[in-house]
Amino acid sequence: MENKTNLEVALKAAVKAGEKILEIYNDPNSDFSVEKKADNSPLTIADKISHTTIQHFLSDTEFPVLSEEGRSIEYPERKDWQNFWIVDPLDGTKEFIKKNGEFTVNIALAKNGKPVLGVIYVPVSKTLYFGNIGLGAFICENVSGEITFDSVLRKSEKLPKPKTTEKYFVVGSRSHMSPETEEYIDALKQKHAEIDIISKGSSLKICMVAEGIADEYPRFGPTMEWDTAAGHAIANAAGKKLWLTDLSEELAYNKENLLNPYFIVK
């Protein structure tokens, strides 16, 4: 199992950052009509306070941080990083602005280009996903306040959950599917008698596969490394993979270009 201390730090950081985001999200004075990139928008304020909160926790570890808020770190500075955190302080911009609750805090620890530890916290539902290869993957409900690794683990459920139906579930958008995704799902329909589409926001799409609710998630659209790293680690701990679309290998991290290629989670 990955160092328990690192996992505990990531758990605490994600929950505390999520609580800070929730204060802004639930503040009756927050104006969600403000343009999303404006410095005084609720989204921007929440993003920055989450980033600062997570940095406070992770600064106690020995590893550098690659974050969406700190994306300006040049490749020559980070190319030799062997161990590093990958953070998305607030994943799910559209979901945050729509106020549908499907946004997350994502924290991963990567070693030699592979995410080995992942934590995803859903502030609105207070749901926590976490895992690494040695420990496994877990979901814990109603998580808030002061926590420890042991207190969370005691009330967690191991993932994936047993499959209870023959129906084949695919994560995607019901209304805005790309042509590549439509083509991919049409091919799946030739293999499976009944397919249903699950629509989710942010990194929760990967969590649906790790949890066993969905069978796969094809992503034929742009994502960045911080969008997928935490979910990737959790999926791996649940026995799933984030494959390149030709199924030859999994996604790699700390690339010179931080944009991910298209991928399939299954």
What distance in Å separates the CA atoms of residue 61 and residue 81, rounded to the nearest whole number?
Answer: 14
- Any idea of the CA torsion for 46, 49, 55, 58, to the nearest 10 degrees? -70
Which residues are annotated as part of the binding site? 68, 88, 90-93, 227
Q: How far is CA 143 from each of CA 14, 24, 121, 173, rounded to the nearest angstrom? A: 11, 19, 9, 28
How much is the CA Rg of the chain, to the nearest whole Å?
18
Which residues are annotated as part of the binding site for substrate? 68, 90-93, 227
What distance in Å separates the CA atoms of residue 125 and residue 176, rounded to the nearest whole number?
Answer: 25
Strand pairing partners for 66?
86
Q: Check: CB of residue 88 under 8 Å from CB of residue 106.
A: yes
Q: Check: CB of residue 152 under 8 Å from CB of residue 140.
A: yes
Q: How far is CA 153 from each of CA 53, 138, 143, rounded to the nearest angstrom? A: 23, 8, 11
What distance in Å separates the CA atoms of residue 213 and residue 169, rounded to the nearest whole number?
Answer: 7
Which residues are annotated as part of the binding site for Mg(2+)? 68, 88, 90-91, 227
